[in-house]
Structure 1
Amino acid sequence: MRNGIKREDIELLAPAGNWDCLKAAVANGANAVFFGVEKFNARARAENFQMAELPEIMSYLHMYGVKGFLTFNILVFENELQDAQELIDACINAGVDAVIVQDLGLVKLIREMSPDFPIHGSTQMTITSPEAVEFTKPFDIERVVLGRENSLKEIRKIGEKAKLPMEVFVHGALCVSYSGQCLTSEMWGGRSANRGECAQACRLPYDLMVDGVQKEMGNIAYLLSPKDLAAIELVPELIEAGVTSFKIEGRLKTPEYVANVVSKYRAAIDRYFDGIDTPPNEQEIRELQQSFSRGFTHGFLEGTNNKKLVDGSFPKSRGVYLGEVKKKLSHGLLVEIASPVKRGDGIVFDAGDPTQKEEGGRIYDILSRSKKVEGEVSKGLYEIVMGRNDVNLKRINVGDRVWKTSDPELDKRLRKTFETEKPYHTFPIAVHASGKLGEKLKLTWVDLQAQHAVTNQSQIPLEQALKRPLTHELLHDQLGRLGGTLFHLNQEDLTIELDGELILPVSELNRLRREAAEQLLYLRSKPPVYQKRPVNAFADIPRKKQVEKPLLTALCRSLEQLEAAAQTDVDFLYADFEFVKQYPDAVKLAHRYNKKIGIATMRIHMPDENGVLALIAKAKPDAILVRNTGALYYYMSRRGEINIPLIGDFSLNIANHKAVELFLDCGLERVTPSYDLNIQQMVDLLENADAAQMELVIHQHMPMFHTEHCVYCTFLSEGTDHTNCGTPCETSRVSLKDRVGFSHPVRVDTGCRNTVYNAIDQSGAEYLNEFRSLQVGSYRIEFLEEEPERVQEVISLYRQALRGEVSGTHVWRTLKATNQLGVTRGQLTK
């Protein structure tokens, strides 16, 4: 124990995309493993396991005292609820230790199926505040995975207030967008990040456009591609901040990666509890970089520092920085070496433009002053000789950086840790032997780690010993022969209570030992038993309510847009502004035109941001558009003092009727379905939910990335965060130009978070008749940078369509004709 924290309270949680990764995690000291099966997990590209393997997986993990968590961290569509129920049922039967869940509708279904089956709230739930944690408690979610954007200070605060075990990512790839809030893949390719199909649009190059003019950025092209998280130096601070589970990202990675990273964090955690206050050494950091690294960062754990998060010059793993080319030679290259390297290592030459093909290969020879060097070199000037067919020396220049991309010797060493026939670990047992002359020998065996006990006794009675009686030494020698099993017996853990000098055949002692080992192994691998109830996911489908006159609502992002919209016959307005101080003016403006108005919360809710929520309520709007569960809990828990109707927005990720029920039961007046639904999935949802209490967004610029990383601060300022950036967002408008030539606007919210919006606005007008027949209660139009005249034109067209005066196709075609960028049909067609 250290600082009141016990070693056994800390869990090291490793990823596993296949059996080799699973074994690598167990062999190198993971306390728990997370893995996915063939569907319903956020790594669709991983090899993944099969549902039929669940009993075998859990038996293997439990045998080694390791927990197994199944990732179910995606949104579940209406037509998938039956399959989802089947998978949860299989998890319960196999004794899975918990499911990691994103979809709150699935949480509702699981709780209907079993009151005690453990659920962990995925980072995809976007839990970043104490209030968001509190929101999960009625559903008995036993652990939450915090957003990667939370700092150590915030993590400590959340732990102190919410008092629920917290899991935090400590190593691996970082998403630039908040998990669960990235719609880019869905928008551009119909591959949703909320469905495990992320296309990694953040790793693509973009041009920075400032007020419509391209900013010269040199070799900085990857404006949204973060470095990789490596918090190994912060392990002591994380433990003391109240983190109980250290999560390593990487279900797409190799077993060598898993072995490497798990072993390093195991050592760091153990050092802390052994009272050794030394940080990881240079070799450990280099080996971590070797497995995978786009450059390491502490992410947001030490607070926001926009200058340290994104390098911008390359989007892929580079490995270890090796040195710089100093001279080109006839047979190779003279390189100033800065890190250890040897023959057979793989290297790449970096000319500063990763969009071009890079030269690289394996080192054939290392020479010092034209003499071959055996073994490893670490620093100094050396001649590097490459295989003749590997590298075109003409394409390499003096000054090029050199990276070590692979180390076969390290990989071989890592493979040895899990490619073995012997057990990776053995566990201590205690044995108590008792007996009297003429009676049977009774042995009680206790698995000290798993706290299981079995008792067995000899088949023949104890006899008087003429020579070699059952001494402590003899019994330990025979009962401790546990090689090849998972157990070992220490001298001090054997106790004897024998009456006199007694004897029993060695063969009988061997039989007792084998029998006990088998029984203890069975107890280890036996699945836990959870309660189960029969459930029909579609048992309580509500009756359709007739909607004679659905609402038409408009969300505006400036006072000018709001005034233009207020002068139309739109039924309801929303204000979603960058500056909170404008909200009272927005409410007064809307009321001056006799319009009701709702104010949107920020999409993310952090500790200490309740003041913004209080200011929204203080402006006395007619409703609040709630965008996260933290804000929802804040208003729900203050119903006595803040009695303003609440409307749920798209970012609550409602994708099935169970989620609709859950949020309506929380007191929301109406809810907005997730943008991940295509037309068929939307129709399926509307058929099974109370469509009259649903609001569909039928015209908008898709908010693609939502990120703590501020493009304005990073590239238009010398500062590191909002305290010293000089607020360039107040004087300039930034957009990101993609390779196709579209410029995607970047807007800032009150919390200085950036949203990258799709350049092209999209329309669902063609489906209006279908939605009308399904009795949808409300339709929303969202504006971004439109001029007032455009606002009024768009509202007018949709009003005509709702009245049946023009077709949805006419609306879409008209908007396309009057917008030079055109309008896509958006995610509804994917």
Structure 2
Amino acid sequence: MRNQTPELLAPAGSLESLRAAVNAGADAVYVGGAKYGARAYAENPEEEDLIAGLRYAHRFGVRVHLTVNTLLKEAELQALPEYIAPYYEAGLDAAIVQDLGALAVLHRQFPLLSLHASTQTTVTGPESARLFRSLGVSRVIPARELSLEELVRIKQETGLEVESFVHGALCYAYSGQCFMSSLLGGRSGNRGRCAQTCRLPYSLVRDREKPTKQSLLLSCKDLCSLDLIPMLAASGIDSLKIEGRMKSPRYTAGVVSVWRKYLDLYAREGEEGFAVAAEDRAKLLDLFDRGGQTEGYYRKHNGRDMIVLGEKKEKRKPNLPYEEELEQRYVKTERELPLRGSFRQRAGEPLCLTVGAEVRHIGTVSAEVMGAVAERARTAGSSPEAVRERLLKTGGTGFRFSELAVSMEEGYFFPVKQLNELRRQALEAISATIDSRFARKTVRPTETICDGETGDGSSAVFEGRTEDKPPAIHVSCDSEEQLKAVSAMSEVSMISFGSDSLPPERWEAAISEIHGSGKQAYLLLPQIFRTEAEQFFTAQAELLANLPFDALIVRNLEEPGYFRKLYESRGKLCPSLLFDFQVYGMNREAQRCLKGFGAARLTLPIEETARELRALETRGQELVVAGRLPMMVSANCVKKTAARCDHKAEYMQLRDRRMMDMPVRTHCAFCYNTIYNAAPLSLSGVAGELRELKLGAVRLLLTNENAEQSRAAVRSLHHSFVLGERDVAEAYENFTRGHFRKGVE
């Protein structure tokens, strides 16, 4: 009995790579077009080449997925349907999408197109997967950091297909939750232009300790989970994804061929007969070696052995014979589809050539063409063997006859030109027939309304605020010292504190202190919501349900569904949900989706300029205008990598080659790290340019500031945003305006 194996999904950064992937045995290929892809610096075929590649793949039963996995600005979203239409009409199998607005538009405009939620959406559990299902998504590509158990749970509880990375580069940060390249160099990973700043050397600085030696603390080894094929296949994971759209066609061919070999081995022999040969491991390292390989997160949450650490070793010498073998076998070879053919000639009837093939996913395909009526030979007629030999000459067409029957009468002669033309017409006809079986028609555009779930009807956080009032000041605190300092300030209207900033037994007292000073109290939920977070909040469910929080700040789409259920199960109304900037609404359609998911108010994106923000719905919304912005959120722990894990939540400093120190916060309750920008954000000096946005609130993010620094930052915001004063003293010495004037590409 043959064991079931998942789809093998290969990367293609060019038409040549696409063909190499198909030739090497991929079941599906994902490729970027000229726009909207998360690998903007890949070769990325233009429309004509991509459609040619699509048809080549379909001929051999290989599906093609187009990456639309970046965040889209308002103008870009408007142009999306026109960009997708030619590929949709040619039979594109799926689109891999990050942006909520893009999902909503594609679901309406192209109803037969499968939609896959990109790993950039940071799906970490079944609740977020359900939200994406409401937008028409049929497959999710969860965060790469999830364990196999977490992946299986998503599949079992939602019925969605699950795709998971198994080979290639690993980002240090959760995909979609990294601003490092964006904030340091203006090249956003959310826009496909990551500069891979994490691959540089850093040292860790802790209080009263000597800095560690500079090393590649944030550079992950490459993923290779080849040994886990039996476990992955048995789990029911639908698709195994290879990373590498920036890599060469040889790389694609080599990795795909090795994975194909072992998936087929498992299918034939099962787990008992499965073993990976040492020479195949060596081949994979010959193709690319960043500093070793790791199995990734399937069986462990993090680990020092996942990180490169030491200075990069000498590059492996190229394995030229192996590369040449790949070139000749997969890259330069034209794969041929086997055909069944039948040539028929009868007196007084046109010549007839029928061809047929079995094409994966669509079944039997056939075509029949007619030629001229044959004339009797004046001397010797053509033999069946000569006719067959001529018709079998299909070199360079992408087809070959596996069988060809010739039925003809004696005494007739067929010119070579006539047979060649008949064969050409037949091959063109079968090719067109295959293409037509995948072709679709584009539907007319419909009204731009999000199809997302509706919220719980709770009142808006800023209800009653009118556009002629200045924005309220909202301060997010990360320590009790900060909370006490800002609670006493009349300038502040709202205070939020992190779920792990204060121990749960202190939450009630903190709310009382905040409410006692006439302010609203919000709970800042974790940026990553996984098993650890669910266990934490389940343990605190009774306490949480009975505390008078005015709002919960959502930073991960796993949270709206989870917390609504938590409150409903205890007969309570869930507080208003304020969606933070890490849940992206970079266009109006995405904003509508977030409102549909239950957002009472939105925190506007941090990667858009003031001009770009004006294209959004900004009235009554919130904007982060001061404080250190988070640059990376990682399942790996800098402290565990550089020293040891002591389960102590604290701030440290990550020092780069220029001696700039970036605060690092360990969130031990939820087992993730946050790395912050060395330079705090401050928009106090440009507050006047933001007034036309009619914001409901401006927000200060406090990290490791002391009480006096916290008060100074609040005063600066009050004088600039509330009182409208000019030339306000900045609260921070070395600050940044972020993307206020210079956005991201």
TM > 0.5 fold call:
yes
Question: How far off its partner does 1:504 sit?
Answer: 10
Separation of aligned partners in 2, 1:455 and 1:197: 46
Of residues 529, 540, 544, the one that matches 2:440 is 529
Distance change in 2, residues 1:613/1:515 (3 Å): farther
C-alpha offsets along residues 539-590 of structure 1, whole Å, 9 cap, x if unaligned? Answer: 9xxxx97352432211111122112222112111111143662444433332
Letter aligned with residue 201 of structure 1:
T
Give runs of aligned pairs for residues 480-495 of structure 1, distance below 5 A: 484-487=396-399
- Sort the Cα spacing of 1:764 and 1:289 in 2 relative to 1 into closer, same or farther, 3 A: same
Partner of 1:610: 534
Q: Secondary structure at the match of 1:575?
A: strand
Deviation of 1:265 after TM superposition, in Å, equals: 0.8
Q: 2:628 corresponds to which residue?
A: 701
**Structure 1 pair 11–775 and aligned structure 2 pair: CA distance change class (3 A):** same
- Aligned partners of 2:2 and 2:364: how far apart in 1? 27
Q: Which residue, 653, 676, 681 being the options, matches 2:607?
A: 676
Alignment match, 1:768:
687
| Residue identity matched to 1:781 | L
CA distance in structure 2 between the partners assigned to 1:481 and 1:49 by the alignment: 31
- Rounded to whole Å, the distance in 1 between the matches of 2:725 and 2:449 is 36
Looking at structure 1, the residues matched to 367 and 730 of structure 2 have their Cα atoms a distance apart, in angstroms, of 82
1:520 aligns with 2:442: no
AA at the equivalent of 2:266? Y
One of 156, 160, 182 as aligned partner of 1:160:
156
Aligned partner of 1:588 in structure 2 is 512
Verify: 1:578 aligned to 2:497, yes or no. Answer: no
Please state how far the C-alpha of 1:117 moved relative to its aligned partner: 2.4
Could you tell me how far apart the structure 2 residues matched to 1:44 and 1:510 are? 44
Distance 2:71 2:80 in 1: 11
CA gap of 1:490–1:59, structure 2 versus 1, over 3 A, is closer
Structure 2 counterparts to residues 465-504 of structure 1, below 5 A: 484-487=396-399
Task: Give the structure 1 partner of residue 454 of structure 2.
Answer: none
Pick from 646, 669, 688 the counterpart of residue 726 of structure 1: 646
* Structure 1 equivalent of residue 247 of structure 2: 253
Identify unmatched segments of 5+ residues in structure 2: 376-380, 451-464
Q: Could you tell which deviates more after superposition, 473-482 or 201-210?
A: 473-482
- AA matched with 1:736: L
Deviates more, 1:767-776 or 1:749-758: 767-776
CA distance in 1, matches of 2:664, 2:638: 8
Cα distance change on mapping 1:430 and 1:630 into 2, 3 Å = farther
Q: Which amino acid aligns with 2:328?
A: K
Say which SS state the counterpart of residue 304 (structure 1) adopts: coil
Q: Distance in 2 between matches of 1:291 and 1:628?
A: 36
1:434 is displaced (CA, Å) by: 10
What does residue 338 of structure 1 align with? none
Q: Which of residues 449, 470, 477 is equivalent to 2:359?
A: 449
Q: Distance in 2 between matches of 1:528 and 1:634?
A: 41
What are the superposed Cα offsets for residues 91-117 of structure 1, whole Å, 9 maximum, x if unpaired?
323432222111111112223323332
Tell me which of 64, 67, 70 is aligned to 1:68. 64
2:87 is the counterpart of 1:91: yes
| CA drift at 1:229 | 0.5
Separation in 1, partners of 2:489, 2:8:
58
| Aligned pair partner of 2:317 in 401, 405, 419 | 405
1:824 equivalent among 730, 736, 745: 736
1:442, distance to aligned residue in structure 2 (A): 8.2
Name which of structure 1's ranges 67-76 and 612-621 shifts more when overlaid on structure 2. Answer: 612-621
Taking a change above 3 Å as real, the CA distance of residues 567 and 152 of structure 1, as seen in their structure-2 partners, is same
Separation (CA, whole Å) in 2 of partners of 1:428 and 1:620: 70
1:113-142 Cα offsets, whole Å, 9 max, x none, are 233322211111111211111111111112
> Partners of 1:201 and 1:287 in 2: how far apart?
28
- RMSD in angstroms over aligned alpha carbons? 3.4
Tell me how many residue pairs correspond in the alignment. Answer: 705
- Residues 654 and 663 of structure 2 are in contact (CA less than 8 Å); yes or no, is this contact kept in structure 1? yes
In terms of mean alpha carbon deviation, does 253-262 or 175-184 score higher?
253-262
Aligned residue type for 2:594: F
How far has the Cα of 1:263 moved from its partner?
Answer: 0.8
2:466 is the counterpart of 1:555: no
**For structure 1, which segment, 506-515 or 786-795, has the greater mean C-alpha deviation from structure 2 after superposition?**
506-515
- Identify the match of residue 137 of structure 1 among 117, 133, 139: 133
Q: Report SS of the residue matched to 1:205.
A: coil
Cα deviations by residue, 1:649-706 (Å, 9 ceiling, x for unpaired): 0111221111111111222110112222123322333xxx2x2242101112010110
Tell me by how many angstroms 1:69 deviates.
1.8
| 1:628 equivalent among 556, 560, 564 | 556
CA distance in 2, matches of 1:733, 1:644: 30
The equivalent position to 2:300 in structure 1, one of 296, 300, 303, is: 303
Q: Is 1:740 aligned to residue 658 of structure 2?
A: yes
Q: CA deviation at 1:11?
A: 2.1
Instruction: Name the CA distance, whole Å, in 2 between partners of 1:195 and 1:458.
Output: 52
Give the drift of 1:624.
0.6
2:585 matched residue in structure 1: 654
Mark the runs of 5 or more structure 1 residues left unpaired by the alignment.
Answer: 319-347, 349-402, 718-724
Structure 1 position 40, deviation (Å): 1.9
Once the two structures are TM-superposed, the CA of residue 477 in structure 1 deviates from its matched residue by 8.5
Cα distance, 1:711 vs structure 2: 1.3
- Residues 103 and 136 of structure 2 are in contact (CA less than 8 Å); yes or no, is this contact kept in structure 1? no
Checking the alignment, whether the CA contact within 8 Å between 1:37 and 1:48 is kept in structure 2 is yes
What is the match of residue 109 of structure 1?
105
The CA distance in 2 between the partners of 1:419 and 1:659, in whole Å, is 40
Deviation at 1:172, TM superposition (A): 0.9
Quick one: distance in 2 between partners of 1:177 and 1:659?
23
Whole-Å Cα distance in 1 between the matches of residues 299 and 305 of structure 2? 11
**Alpha-carbon spacing, 1:751–1:782, altered in 2? closer, same or farther (3 Å):** same
- Aligned: 1:283 with 2:193: no
Distance 2:352 2:48 in 1: 40
Distance 1:532 1:505, change over 3 A: farther
Q: Spell out the pairing of 1:160-199 with structure 2 (5 A cutoff).
A: 160-199=156-195
C-alpha distance in 2 between matches for 1:603 and 1:747: 12
Structure 1 pair 769/506, CA: closer, same or farther in 2 (3 Å)?
farther
Q: Which amino acid aligns with 1:453?
A: V
1:36 to 32, 39, 51: 32
Contact 2:632 2:674 in 1 (8 A): yes
Q: CA deviation at 1:230?
A: 0.8
Instruction: Please name the residue that 1:328 is paired with.
Output: none
Partner of residue 222, structure 2: 228
Output the amino acid matched with 2:523.
I
- CA 52–789 in structure 1, closer or farther in 2 if over 3 Å, else same: same
**From 712, 733, 738, the counterpart of 1:793:** 712
Cα 1:524/1:735, change in 2 over 3 Å: same
TM-score by length of structure 1 reads: 0.78
Is contact 1:478–1:506 with CA below 8 Å preserved after alignment? Answer: no
In 2 relative to 1, CA 22–114 (structure 1 residues): closer, same or farther, beyond 3 Å?
closer
Preserved CA contact (<8 Å) 2:29 2:65: yes
Q: Distance in 1 between the 2:566 and 2:344 partners? A: 64
Distance, in Å, in 2 between the alignment partners of 1:511 and 1:190 is 57
Cα distance in 2, alignment partners of residues 293 and 168 from structure 1 = 21
Structure 1, residues 788-810: CA drift from partner, whole Å, max 9, x if none? 22222322231222333522x41
Map Cα deviations across residues 451-471 of structure 1 (whole Å, 9 max, x no partner). 1433537679999xxxx9999
Deviations 1:44-68 (A, max 9, x none): 2222222454333322332333222
What is the one-letter code of the residue matched to 2:731? L
Which amino acid in 1 is paired with 2:246?
A: L
> Which amino acid is 1:576 matched to?
G
Native 8 Å contact 1:124 1:180 kept in 2: yes
When normalised by structure 2's length, the TM-score is: 0.86
Q: Hey, what does 1:241 align to over in structure 2?
A: 235
* SS of residue matched to 1:698: strand
- 2:109 touches 2:445 (CA, 8 Å); kept in 1? yes
- Does structure 2 retain, via aligned residues, the 8 Å contact 1:575–1:583? no
